[in-house]
Amino acid sequence: MEPQQTSCKSEHHHQNPKSPESPPSSITTIATAISTPTCCKCGAPTPMAAPPPSFSDISPPPNYRPIRAPAINLPPNSNSQQAIILTPVPQPLSVPQISPPFHFQSPSKVIQSPDDLRRFHDSFSGKHFVGFVAALSESIRAKKISDPCHQSDTVNTIVSILEALIQWVDEIPPTQQAARYGNVSFRSWHERLSETSHSLMLQFLPEHLHPSTIEIVPYFTDSFGNPSRIDYGTGHETNFAAWLYCLARMGVINEEDYPAVVARVFVKYLDLMRKLQLVYCLEPAGSHGVWGLDDYHFLPFIFGASQLIEHKYMKPKSIHNDDIVENFSKEYLYLSCIQFVKKVKKGPFSEHSPLLDDISGVPNWNKVNSGLLKMYKAEVLGKVPIMQHFLFGWLIKWE
């Protein structure tokens, strides 16, 4: 004979999120106890919803990392650290130039998995693209931004194009809106960019390379952020480096131009991006939060560290001297980046930028530069969420 069960009316039940019995021993039992509330007087199931259990009764709270800095101070991923350590320091490589017949094509996205990434890094295109970034870094070694350098007509034209893009920001003011991030006026700015990019390329391309616009325009238009998400990150910055690499592949710029490419073109590009970020409040794309270098850029830290190699007085720890940062930020990209970080982030530097703070303890700039090159290859070019948007065509081939 089955034991008689005592029933009680639901309106007399007092909610108890946990069973009055001893704590369950399995995860399944815990889940059942949580999902089926019982009366704290009789122990019978009750249809009324139980109050949510506290985390302390079940498990610790989840590790939540907001997109925007400052994020929760979680330690860097150990797997990422190991990947950086095992990555060899990228070395400068000469860019192989193309020759007729040309087969320019509209580039497309290819990378979808870690295996695709490994294939890219082992390929001719992957090795020479990283080598191009390292060559740009080496070209600016121990040089100030204001130091004289060879400036070709092509470099001057590109700089003037970037200056025009800066002017557009003044002509397209931000919209008054409640949202803190993502001003919709950026879409108008980017729409003008897309409409004029073809004609902008023709300003410096020789006539026999005019057909290349079908391939290089997509890199260029994707170098300034995403108009749909109204965000910007290291993937967009990498597209700008890829656009420059394509110009080098076509012989439009050569190694003699590299110092000016960094000190004139890239510096102007950084000026433009800082203005876009501040005026249109661009969302950081896939930001590492406080454990990234900053929310938007990586390459200026590499180039800036190279500039400071063998400097007599300024060491990595000099970033903590506000007078040095203020007086030399216009001459050194690294200090310019530090100044921007201190401008837009509040609180102690070690809290909002712990990775930069750690780097300041490295004994010399040569180690900083080589370490950042390794980190760029592992943390930017080695991440699927970033590189899945990278484009491949005829100039940067998928092999």
Residue-level pLDDT at 14: 44
Give me the average pLDDT of each 10-residue run along the chain (399 residues).
43 42 38 47 56 42 37 48 73 95 97 96 96 98 97 98 98 89 94 98 97 98 96 95 98 97 98 96 74 84 97 95 96 97 90 91 95 93 93 96
Which tokens hold the place of 38? 């019982």
| E-state strands within 22-78 | 38-39
Torsion of CA 251, 257, 263, 264, to 10 degrees: -60
Query: Which residue pairs from 161-164 have beta carbons closer than 8 angstroms and sit at least 24 positions apart in sequence?
Result: 161/200, 161/203, 161/204, 162/265, 162/268, 162/269, 162/271, 162/272, 163/268
pLDDT of residue 7: 43
Distance of alpha carbon 250 from alpha carbon 232, whole angstroms:
27
| H helix intervals, the chain | 27-35, 55-58, 78-86, 114-122, 124-139, 153-171, 185-202, 213-221, 234-249, 258-260, 267-279, 299-307, 322-328, 333-344, 349-352, 354-359, 365-379, 384-387
The model's pTM is 0.80
What are the backbone angles phi and psi of residue 398, rounded to the nearest 5°? -90, 115
Alpha-carbon dihedral angle through residues 178, 179, 184, 185, given to the nearest 10 degrees: 60
Cα torsion 304, 248, 166, 184: sign: negative
pLDDT at 56: 40
Q: 391 by DSSP, 3-state: which?
A: strand
What pLDDT is attached to residue 289? 53
The pLDDT of residue 2 = 43
Separation between Cα atoms, residue 189 and residue 177, nearest integer Å: 17
How far is it, in rounded angstroms, from Cα 287 to Cα 383?
A: 13
For residue 186, what pLDDT is reported?
97
Phi-psi group of 224: left, alpha or beta (phi > 0 → left; psi -120 to 50 → alpha; rest → beta):
alpha
DSSP 253-302: S-GGGHHHIIIIIIHHHHHHHHHHHHHS-PEETT--GGGSSSSS-SHHHH
- Rounded to whole angstroms, how far apart are CA atoms 395 and 243? 10
Rounded distance between C-alpha atoms, residue 108 and residue 391, angstroms: 5
Calpha distance 352→350 (Å, rounded): 6
Tell me whether the omega of the peptide bond preceding residue 60 falls within 30 degrees of 0, making it cis: no
Q: Which residues pair with 226 in a beta bridge?
A: 231
CA angle in degrees (0–180, nearest 5) for 84-367-272 = 80
User: CATH classification of 107-392 is 1.20.120.1150, yes or no?
Assistant: yes
Which residues, 6 or more positions from 123, have their beta carbon under 8 angstroms from its beta carbon?
A: 397, 398, 399
Torsion of Cα atoms, 355 then 360 then 361 then 364, to 10°: 130
Q: Say which DSSP state 396 is in.
A: S
Q: What residues contact residue 54 under an 8 Å CB cut-off, 6+ apart?
A: none
Within 10 angstroms of residue 118's Cβ, the number of other Cβ atoms is 12
